[in-house]
Amino acid sequence: MKELAKPLVRASPPKPPGPESKWRQIRKDKLLYLLLTPAVALVFIFSYLPMPGILVAFKDYDVFKGFWGSDWVGLRHIREVFELPMMTEAIGQTLLLSTLTLLVCFPAPILLALLLNELRMQLFKRFAQTLLYLPHFLSWISVIGIAYAFYSLYGPLNDIRLWLLGPDTERTMFLADKSFFIPNVLLLSLWKETGWSTIIFLAAIASVDPQLYEAAYMDGAGKFKQALHVTLPTILPTVMIMLIFQLGHLFQSNFELIYGLQNPYVDTEVISTIIFKQGIQQGAYALSTALGFIQGLIALLLTVGANAVSKKLTSSGIW
* Beta carbon nearer to another protein, 93 or 278: 278
Distance CA 68, CA 78 (A): 19
**Amino acid making up residue 87:** M
Residues 103-122 that bind another protein (CB under 8 A): 112, 115-116, 118-121
Q: How far is the CB of 88 from another protein (least distance, A)?
A: 19
Q: How far is the CB of 107 from another protein (least distance, A)?
A: 15
Residues 275-294 that bind another protein (CB under 8 A): 275-276, 279-280, 285, 288-289, 292-293
Our finding on whether 56 is near another protein (CB under 8 A) is yes
Q: Which stretch binds another protein (CB under 8 A): 69-77, 82-90, 215-223, 307-315?
A: 215-223
The DSSP code for 73 is -
Q: How far is the CB of 4 from another protein (least distance, A)?
A: 6
Query: Collapsing DSSP states into helix, strand and coil, what is residue 264?
Result: coil
Residues 173-212 that bind another protein (CB under 8 A): 191, 195, 199-200, 203
185: nearest Cα among 151, 148, 144, 146: 144
User: Which uninterrupted H or E stretch holds 162?
Assistant: helix 156-165
The single residue among 62, 88, 92, 149 that binds another protein, judged by CB under 8 A, is 149
Size of the site for another protein (CB under 8 A): 102
Dihedral (CA of 22, 23, 27, 30) sign: positive
Q: What is the chain's alpha carbon radius of gyration, rounded to the nearest angstrom?
A: 26
Residues 20-39 that bind another protein (CB under 8 A): 22, 25-26, 29, 31-33, 35-36, 38-39
Our finding on whether 301 is near another protein (CB under 8 A) is no
Q: How far is the CB of 83 from another protein (least distance, A)?
A: 19
Our finding on whether 15 is near another protein (CB under 8 A) is no
Beta-carbon-side half-sphere exposure of residue 289 (alpha carbons within 13 Å)? 19
Query: Collapsing DSSP states into helix, strand and coil, what is residue 284?
Result: coil
Beta carbons within 8 Å of 36's beta carbon, 6+ residues apart: none
